[in-house]
Each structure stands twice: as C-alpha cells, then as structure tokens.
Structure 1
Amino acid sequence: MRKDVLNYLELIKDEIGLLNKSELARRLNCDPRTIERYINDTNTESRKPREIKSKIDDFKEKIIDKVDTLGSNSMSIFKYIQEKGYDGGYHTVNNFIKNYKNEQIKRVTMRFDKSLGLQAKVDCNETLTMINSEGETFNINIFLILLGYSRLRYIKLTTDKTQKTLLQCLIESFKYFEGVPKEIIIDNIPSVIDRHKTTFENVTIHKNFENFSKNAGFEVITCNPYRAEIKEKTSTLDKLTKRLNLYNKEFDTFDDLNNIVTKFNDEINNEISEVTYEIPVIRYLKEKGHLNPLPPIDILL
C-alpha cells in the first residue's frame, strides 16, 4: 500500500475532481490505475491483509502434543497426520516443529536450582556402541545424575533402558551420595512417563516410579527432551564418550567398561567445576547434610 499516495490524495481531496489522473500519477511516480483505485476505494486505508490459512493449521495441536509428550520426530509425525487427513508437504511439518522447539527453549524459565540438597538432574538418553577385543558388539547406555549444589556426579553404564534398570541406578546413586535430593529432574522417558494416560496438558508418572519416588523421599520433575541442556552434564558425557572410545576393540567384558567409568567418575568429581569453580567432592561435604536421609534399601526394591 502506497501511504504517500493516500496522504497526498487526502490533502487534495476537494480538488481531485478537477485534476487529471495521469498528471497525479506522474507527480506521485505511480500508475494512473493506482490513482483511480485509491480514489474509488474509500476503504483502502482500513483494509486488512487477507488471512491465508495453512494446511498445517488444523494439525498444530496434535503435532505439539506428540512432540511434547512422546518426543516424536518430524517424519513420524508427518506420517501420522497424513493418516488424519493432512495433504501438505513434509518440509512444512519439519519447519513448524523446528520453530516450535526453538521457541520453547527460549521460553524455558525453570532453572537447575543450586540450593543445598534440593535438586539433581538425571540423564539416561546417551547411547553408544562398543566392540570388544573379540569382536563382540555392546550397545551401551549411560546413566548420569548430577547434584545441583555440589555438582557431584554419579555415572554408570547399562545395557537397557527399562524401568527396573533406572530404579537400580537411582538406588546406587543414593548410596553413592549417602542421601537423596528433594527433587529429581528427569526427561519425559517411557520408563518414567505413562504414555497412555499422559495428555498435552498433564504428564502422568508411572505408578511404580511414583511409588518409588515417595518411598525414596524425592519429588519427580519432568521436562521436555528439547530443554536447554545443562552445561556440565553435556561436557561430562562428551568427555566420557571420548574416554570410552579410546578402549574400543581393546576391552574384554562389560565390567571392564564400568571399571573405566568408575575411575572417570572419581576423576571428574575431583576436578574444578565449570560452574562453581570449586571441586565437587569438597562442596559435597557441605551439601551432604541437606540431602534427605537414605531410606532402607529393602523398601525401594
């Protein structure tokens, strides 16, 4: 819309009938038809742009639901909504999901609290493949829990992501910490979240995991898988992966790998933290007394 044309015509509105449209067009450097359209259409200035509805609009709520509650990728969601009647392209879906995730990360306000004994963050999504000295392949998962105040870590390798394995890792971490943090932040993973009962508005924790958390004395805080990452957690996993890769095709058993991890765990807890600029095992001495007491192990099993 040419605002300058509208403004000029408004100034000379009482003389428009006396002026030649071609002359007006020459003065305003536009087509005479533009002058005629603006003179004849008295509502030009108040006209709103035509709203164009995208093919994806009717499916946005379903897409967000699948991304938030299931962590589904773009292709699986594209195939899913095609079955529901979507007839647009894959790139439209992929771009919408990328933009949505980026926007959510910007809007994240929940921080990893550094209060004494309050929070810990669990990560068990990292996986890698290792081959031993005899050519046997091991598909390995890394369990990591990080205390918020001291930045003390407990790391263990597992061979599956079942709920039973996750609970066992948590019990071992509580023994290592000699206490239980009051809150544990964990991703929306299948061993924690009941997918059948979880909706877009409400996340439902598996009954077994909920009972475990109550008996252990911690509150579960779930978060989306695309949350902004905690700096130290990411760097720890990166360092560990590089350390383990050095032993690819040289180790014999799974226990050999866990021995490497145990040694790495001790080293990383005695190095200066990137966040606190202090050594985790020293800060832990102050945090230890603020953790909830370690419950009897038999009630957790």
Structure 2
Amino acid sequence: MRSDVREGVQIYIMSDIKPNFTHLAKQFDCDPRTVKRYYENDFPSKKQERKKRPSKLDPFRSIIQENVSLGCSAASIYGFIKKKGYQGKDSIVRAYCSQLREVHVQKTTIRVETQPGLSAQVDWKEDLVLYNRSGERFQINLFLYVLGFSRWDFIFIVVNVCTIF
C-alpha cells in the first residue's frame, strides 16, 4: 500500500470533498483508479478465499494416511490408489503425502577433536573399475589415510590395466 497516496486522499476524505482523481494520480505518479480506490477505502488488503470444491483425492485420504504412517512412498501410494479407481495425477498425491509426513529432524553430529598425532582413519578400497574416454578399463585399488587433528588426507592409488577379451 502506498502511504503517500493514502495521506494525500485523507485530506479530501476529512473535508468531505470529492477530489480530481486524474490530477492526484499525476501528482503521485500512479493510475487514477488507484487514487479512486484509496478514496473509496477499497484497499487491496486480503485475497478473496476461493470456494472449497471436492477433490479427486477426497475418497482416498484415509488410505493415503494409513500408508504414509506405514512409511510408504508417494509413488507406491499413487500406484495403489490408481488401481482402486483414482483418476487424478500423481503430483496431487505427492503434495498431500508431503503434508502428512513428519518433519525429519537431522541428528547433530558431534565432532571428536583429538590431539596431534593421536588418531587417524584408514580406508582401503579394492577392485574399483574405471573407464577412460576411449573405453579402456582400469582396475584400481585405493588407500586413504585421514589425520584426526588436521583432517589432512593422504591418498595412494594403485592402477592395474586390465584387458578382457
């Protein structure tokens, strides 16, 4: 809402004089209909509520609530109620299921701080297969060593070229 237009029109309202809307609109650099709306106290305040109409989902709401409480996905619920005669789209089912699901609270991660040289993590991966752009196959082994204090990584990769006929 524009307070400058409202204040300019208030003078005319208090004096009970009908203003020249076009003149005021030029003064406030807006449309004459805007000035008229402010004069008639017809401010655009709230959106009009739409009438509630029945949804295609209404007959299936209890089934959906049951399945969501069991932990089923929206896609599986959609397939299930479609077999039961549901005529709507999957997006409506997904939106309704997201409203029903509880908000998952992520668990906080407690970071363990150690003194320098006291701990490290070691990981070893074997037989990882990679392909280059020409389609050549490489089999690699990976050694990863992470220091606990500084979180620095040491990675050692062993590459074996394999050919399969």
Taking structure 2 as the reference length, what is the TM-score of the superposition?
A: 0.44
Higher strand share: 2
Higher helix share: 1
Q: Which has the larger radius of gyration?
A: 2
Taking structure 1 as the reference length, what is the TM-score of the superposition?
A: 0.28
Q: Quick one: higher RCO (CA 8 Å, sep 6+), 1 or 2?
A: 1
